[in-house]
Copies of this chain bind each other. A is one copy, B any other.
Amino acid sequence: MVRASVILLLALCVATPARADDVGTTAASLAQRMRADTTPFDTVASLTTEVGQRLAGTEAHARAVQWAEAKLTSYGLANVHAESFSITAWIRGVETARVTVPAPLQLAVTALGGSVATPPEGIEAEIVLFHTYADLLAAAPRSLDGRIAVVTQRMVRVEDGAGYGAANPIRRAGPSEAARRGAVAYLHRSLATDNHRLPHTGALNYQDGAPRIPAAALSMPDADQLERMTALGKVRIRLVLTPVERENAPTWNVVGEVPGRERPDEIVLIGAHLDSWDLGTGATDDGAGDGIVMSVGKLIAALPQHPRRTLRVVLFGAEEMDYSGPAYAKAHADEAAHIVLAAEADFGAREAYAVMLPAGAADADFGRALDRTLAPLGAFVDRRPAVGGGDDVRGLQKEGVPVASVRQNGLDYFDTHHTADDTLDKIDPRQLSQAASVWTALVYLAAETAFDFRKAAAAPK
């Protein structure tokens, strides 16, 4: 390889501008440093140990914000600050479900985020069980009057998470669809791929014009059990959910920057969400994303020469209940034209295998340089353009900000997602560092080159 390297170096000096080569070499070297760095894991360990769960709008999240400001500062980022906004916080209460007929049986359930409460003594009713969500949608108006609707459709395990996207309406829209048909409560099989007795929470979205009924997710074995029991005869369930809401609860997006040395007004924005569900410690969702973007910020901030453009790291404050993305986009709409690229790390802690770029970038110099940097990391540039960049940057995308997506292996992400089981032990530090190394390559190249993603997207194909 000595000979080949020499030839290659000579070739590069002849064939490409030294400057572009420097950028590529630096990107590759930074990515390799990140790959051997334990900062991503150490950051998640610190967050999940020192703060633990951090539900948006609660005191725990306020502690996480303090943690984040201190950590970003210690990581060398500038302009560290928290941007406040207010949300309707939703606080879990008692959540129990018990089969009463044909015989007593405790079920493992967890309330959906945003669910209204039952009366303190609960709601007891006969259930109507649907094996698919489409079966529920095909049920006639009033056909569920006075019943508890139960949907047991399974989501499908897919590496890129497409199974979760496809199943999402079961949780998001199911409660209102059941209520429209007369149901007094709603249960569904957790949107998940495990088979543990731990239910998976997640937000619902009540629809206008439908009664707001209590809604909860069943663990996978409990959904199976109800399928078998209803095949034998009538089943009644008593459901107790006592969540409360707090209007105008304060929350914050935490920001830190590495100011650009030549084009400080051009911003590469990378984010993750600091809030988590309350059941576990939010290690993979989204401590891992926090660990990735904070570590990338630390590495870039420590460079003797900052990249040309500004790197902005945003730790969003209320992703799980859908508040922080819109809040950030609203507060920064005037600035959107200055954000050259945005992306969010919010798909767990496994290895990254690909990067999807805004349209037009994969086949341009930028994509080729990135692909070359990714190859030794075991990843590549997917030529299909990124459709989205994450929940919290969707608002920016609507304002015209180009988005990228780092693809991580999500085959087991939905085994523990949104459960009590989302804890630090699920993270392999080496896989997390590899994912962070892919982010490093993307971020450094986007911040150091002057590549215009908007222009590339607008160019004729």
Contact = CB atoms under 8 A, between A and B. Distances in A.
Contacts of A375: 131-134, 153-154
B143 A11 contact: yes
A2 to B, nearest CB: 8
A354 B162 CA distance: 9
A250 interface: no
B156 A376 contact: no
A160 B163 contact: no
A7 interface: yes
Chain copies in the assembly?
2
Contacts of A94: none
Which residue, of A8, A378, A383, has the highest number of chain B Cβ atoms within 10 A? A8
Interface string A139-159: 110010000000001101111
A138 interface: yes
A231 interface: yes
Which residue, of A138, A163, A167, A372, has the highest number of chain B Cβ atoms within 10 A? A138
B383 A165 contact: yes
A12 interface: yes
Contact of A134 (B153, B372, B411): B372
Nearest to A233: B2
A4 interface: yes
A218 to B, nearest CB: 16
A6 to B, nearest CB: 10
A166 B135 contact: no
Interface of A: 1-4, 7-8, 10-12, 14-16, 128-135, 138-140, 143, 153-154, 156-160, 162-163, 165-167, 227, 230-231, 233-234, 353-354, 368, 371-372, 375-376, 378-384, 387, 411
10 contacts: A11-B140, A15-B138, A16-B138, A131-B375, A134-B368, A156-B379, A156-B380, A159-B160, A162-B380, A163-B354
